[in-house]
């Protein structure tokens, strides 16, 4: 069994995002190409956006810190620490309204 502190990882990646020219930092905490399930911690500086992209399968975004906006087409949903956003099965983007850390969980389709 393995244990991770999401709080510590969020802190670490928010510091990395603040120091990065891209304004973001990410780490896959579980899974990868050989697994169907993947969990990735993503930290974004306020104003940073993950541009529109396809959804690779079923996905959720758990907001660990800060506030984010998930957009898909004309719809958008805001989330803050403790909120779970269900990612629609369509092209979407994620914007940090404040410095934010999220846990993206994806189960690949097919």
Distances (CA, A) of 21 to 6, 16, 17, 18, 67: 24, 10, 8, 8, 20
> What confidence score (pLDDT) does residue 57 get?
80
Residue 104 within any structural domain of the chain: yes
- How many domains are there within the chain? 1
Q: Would you say residue 90 lies in a domain?
A: yes
Mean pLDDT of 59-84: 97
* Residue 56 banded pLDDT, cuts 50, 70, 90: confident
Q: What's 12's domain CATH number?
A: 2.60.120.10
The predicted-structure confidence for 25-38, as pLDDT tens digits, reads as follows 999 999 977 888 99
> What integer best gives the mean pLDDT of the chain?
94
The answer to whether position 59 is within a domain reads yes
- Residue 41 resides in a domain: yes
Q: Domain range spanning residue 43?
A: 6-108
User: What is the pLDDT, as a whole number, of residue 110?
Assistant: 63
Q: Is 92 part of a structural domain of the chain?
A: yes
Cα–Cα dist 97/49, whole Å? 9
What is the average per-residue pLDDT within 81-107?
A: 96
């Amino acid at each position: 069994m393995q244990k991770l502190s999401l709080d510590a990882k969020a802190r670490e990646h928010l510091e990395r995002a603040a120091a990065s020219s891209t304004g973001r930092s990410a780490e896959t905490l579980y899974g990868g190409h050989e697994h169907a399930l993947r969990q990735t911690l993503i930290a974004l500086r306020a104003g940073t956006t993950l541009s529109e992209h396809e959804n690779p399968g079923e996905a959720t975004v758990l907001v660990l810190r800060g506030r984010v906006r998930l957009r898909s087409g004309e719809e958008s949903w805001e989330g803050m620490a403790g909120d779970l956003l269900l990612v629609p099965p369509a092209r979407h983007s994620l914007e940090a309204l404040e410095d934010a850390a999220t846990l993206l969980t994806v189960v690949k389709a097919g």
